[in-house]
Amino acid sequence: MLKRLLTILSIAILPPASSAYAEDAQPISQKTCAQLLADYKQLPFTSVLPLDEGPIAIGGDTKDITIGFSQTAFNHPWRVSMLESLQAEACRHPNVKLVILDGNVDVAKQSNDVRDLLARGVNAVLLSPVESAALVPAARAVQSAGIPLIVMDRDVPTDKTLFIGQSNVTMAEQVAEHMAKDLGGKGNIVVITGLKGSSPAVDRDQGMKNVLAKYPDIKVLAVGDGQWIREPAVPLMEDFLTAHSDINAVFSHAEESSWGAQLAIARAKRCGDHIRHYTFDGSNAGFKSVKAGTFSADGNYTPFIADVGLRAALYKLMGKEIPGTQDYDMPGKRLQLPDSPTVVADNADEWIGRGWGNFEPTLDPCK
């Protein structure tokens, strides 16, 4: 059954503590507008496409505006954190409503979800795809409806109003450079990718390859699809350990994969090999794992971009120009957000508390 979650954000333009609506928990995040507005101050890109707090006027009219958000899934706190940045922006504008649909990591469901949003008559669609190519027909349906389509984090290879995200290629290059330096330019690595076919997995792999092309003495022994989550990473790493007696590092596309790989290393009694972990996601727990020495580097790829996506949709609806957009190697326009510094031991303290998530890291089974 499709999850149809409708949240109508109609808070008064008063301090959050004075508004009854500010105390209502929002869907999925379960945070109130008071909490979300407090969090808004810490979001990294609020200066990008800025909007004053208050009702959004289109042609002088402040009637209700409904924005649909089709998310890959809400089975991962990174995805929930993206939603929180969206809800925080919506809480600033009392005539903005959100319709939030959970893709459940199912391409067919997410395709149906996008069409469901169109049937509801939303004014714009925000989309973070499960898988890039498979969402092309759904994206085309939005374009055919003549409303803004803002794609975030994972791109689709078809026309859209705007794609918003950081560069997974350059951020992967940063992480891979740290790995190459730590290894002294030589060694054996295994790779646990994100979901095969998703644009971040493709781009992070490309960024790593760009760097390894300069280090021919770093050998990739094996590659496996970790799907961004922990469970597949454990048996993958177990297989890698069985097949290879000399592994110096694991390059994982997600922190969850790195924690899973470390568990497999401990189970195989290979802690003494001192296999290094290079990863991505930018959670506070990941930064703590860097500080503890479990991870050697964490690509600081933030989920806090959906507030920018909502503002971009509102800019289009208001007839405002979106500055900073550019042509790129996909159809449509791109608004590329700045890279965040890779978190390593030297700057981990600086970044703990500025990432996403309030959970603690998995204890290092090798300690």
**Number of alpha carbons in the 13 Å side-chain half-sphere of residue 293:** 6
**Tens of pLDDT, residues 197-208:** 888 899 999 999
CB count, 10 Å around CB of 292? 14
Query: Tokens standing for 45?
Result: 């890109």
- State mean pLDDT over 74-79: 89
**Tens of pLDDT, residues 302-346:** 999 999 999 999 999 999 999 999 999 999 999 999 999 999 999
Nearest one of 349, 214, 226, 354 to 282, comparing CA atoms: 354
Q: Provide the whole-model pTM.
A: 0.84
Find tokens 């350990």 and name the residue: 241
- pLDDT, the chain, mean: 92
- Report the C-alpha gap between 306 and 80 in whole angstroms: 11
Nearest one of 75, 113, 142 to 313, comparing CA atoms: 142
Name the helix (H) or strand (E) containing 210.
helix 199-212
- Report the C-alpha gap between 244 and 339 in whole angstroms: 34
DSSP string, 127-171: E--SSTGGGHHHHHHHHHTTS-EEEESS--SS--SEEEE--HHHH
Q: What are phi and psi of 146, to 5 degrees?
A: 75, 25
**Tens of pLDDT, residues 145-164:** 999 999 999 899 999 999 99
pLDDT at 339: 95
pLDDT at 7: 37
pLDDT at 3: 34
Nearest one of 327, 303, 307, 317 to 49, comparing CA atoms: 307
> Is residue 102 within 8 Å of 255, Cβ to Cβ?
no
**Number of alpha carbons in the 13 Å side-chain half-sphere of residue 301:** 31
